[in-house]
Structure 1
């Protein structure tokens, strides 16, 4: 049985707990997981404990540490130092940091006993066990846990890890793209609800393609357009060199922020 503690029980931590619980239910040979939740965000922690037999709300963050082999730190970046400074985390524990933008050496400054540190970037899809989680450095125990949530990719160094952190900033822009398309339909006379309904139907299948195939994304572009066709026309007119350059520049700025280079 593996015990996993969560310090900070926000949306991402809850998604991880629920995804891991589903993996237990789906695997007849599962060895068993126990979840120990910090009292931070009491309502969410209480809900998880009431809905999952394997989940327990602890009395304090230190209680989470004392009862867990793997400890997921899932607090806001500006809270991390203060939270860690109040804890005594032994050397034999593994701290799994889901805190954005804090490098391993920054975390280590607040961990005098030098436990193992692994950084991860979990995404909301881990709740459905479809999220691919970035991790650094390689760690077998953490990789096994992430395997239950949809798999993982391991960065060779922390610089590469930060590039994956940067591209997670594109999620709201993806929906803004769809919002702009539906707004165009509304401008042409469609009701908002009908425009939303149609665009959802158009793009949900593309998500399924991404989830159910391993076709390189570059090839998916070609697969969804024909020479001289409408898709090719829009792709070339909208995603031209200038727009690609603006996107790359925006990602450069996010990367600089993630790594602290923008300070």
Structure 2
């Protein structure tokens, strides 16, 4: 069975560990690293995995290494484990979960021939409903890419994309839960304004968002068709939708996703510049 290392066990890292073990991965084949010993002990007790405080120790012997640290720490950790990863037999595949950190920057940090995969997850993976997009580096073969995708499928859906699509993926999936949480929050406040108790408004809004999401997951579902099905001529829903359209809702989402994708590209450019300046 595949040996796995998860470096960094914050929300995303722990969600991945929880998903892997729940999906039947033997905890004996999972090693996690975390800087705090008390946190390591907590992870061992909760999931039965091996927990250490040294990143290189976690990566030793691992076939797949997930980097679940913050973007500004990712390249430093990649450099830290590079020698260990390259000495493993077979050489590890390293999957980075960090936004904006490019395959080029990761390959430069890991050294020549490094097998790296870039992953853009989103936070619903913490409840097994995530969407992860993956882009494989030039030294990753199909078998290794499939192995990463299969492991990630334990916490949600997996989509293969070109790296050039990653900024758009960040805008449409990586950051999208926050947009929907904002919509839900606005619905709750609107319900309170209409006279509902906040707890009732929250239950109604949360249930509606979850239910709509479940309908969208049905095979062949189309959001335009689903919207039309609930929009009776001259009815209450149409009256509400007209207000949303006249308020420029679609334009807001166009501008928001464009801003998100632009910021993702900026972060990636900074990483590339930093790597370049370090080589001169």
TM-score by length of 1: 0.87
Displacement of 1:108: 1.3
Q: Which residue of 2 aligns with 1:181?
A: 187
Kept in 1, the 8 Å contact 2:11–2:126? The answer is no
Distance, in Å, in 1 between the alignment partners of 2:247 and 2:191 is 26
Listed one character per residue, the Cα deviations across residues 9-57 of structure 1 (whole Å, up to 9, x for unaligned) are 1101111110111110xxxxx788721111235444332211222x111
User: Post-superposition shift, 1:112?
Assistant: 1.4
Mapping for residues 104-119 of structure 1, pairs under 5 Å: 104-119=103-118
- 2-structure distance, mates of 1:52, 1:226: 50
Instruction: Quote the offset at 1:231 in angstroms.
Output: 1.7
1:78 matched to 2:84 = no
Shift of 1:243: 2.9
1:154 correspondence with 2:150:
no
Q: Is the 8 A contact 1:97 1:119 kept in 2?
A: yes
Is residue 207 of structure 1 aligned with residue 207 of structure 2? no
Q: Please tell me whether the aligned partners of residues 7 and 40 of structure 1 are also in contact (alpha carbons under 8 angstroms).
A: no
- CA offset at residue 162 of structure 1? 2.0
Residues 1:61 and 2:55 are matched in the alignment: yes
Name the one with the larger helix percent.
2
Distance 2:130 2:28 in 1: 19
2:97 aligned with 1:98, yes or no? yes
Distance 1:163 1:114 in 2: 27
Consecutive unaligned residues in structure 2, runs of 5 or more: 137-141, 271-280
Q: Does 1:237 align with 2:236?
A: no
Is the 8 Å Cα contact of residues 90 and 115 (structure 1) preserved in structure 2?
yes
Q: 2:200, 2:26 → 1: CA distance?
A: 47
Structure 2 length as normaliser, TM-score? Answer: 0.82
> What SS class does the counterpart of residue 239 from structure 1 fall into?
helix
1:226, CA displacement in angstroms? 2.2
Instruction: Give, in whole Å, the separation in 2 of the partners of 1:188 and 1:219.
Output: 29
Q: Match for residue 165 of structure 1?
A: 170
- Asked if the contact 2:40/2:53 (under 8 Å) is kept, the reply is no
Q: How does 1:14-53 map to 2 (within 5 A)?
A: 14-24=14-24, 34-40=29-35, 42-53=37-48
Structure 1 distance, partners of 2:243, 2:209, is 20
Q: CA deviation at 1:235?
A: 1.8
Q: Check conservation: 1:9, 1:38, Cα contact below 8 A.
A: yes
Q: 8 Å contact 2:13–2:68 — kept in the other structure?
A: yes
Unmatched 5+ residue regions in structure 1? 25-29
Question: Aligned with 1:110: secondary structure?
Answer: helix
- 1:114 offset after TM fit, Å? 2.7
User: Does residue 204 of structure 2 align to residue 198 of structure 1?
Assistant: yes
Equivalent residue, structure 2, for 1:248: 254
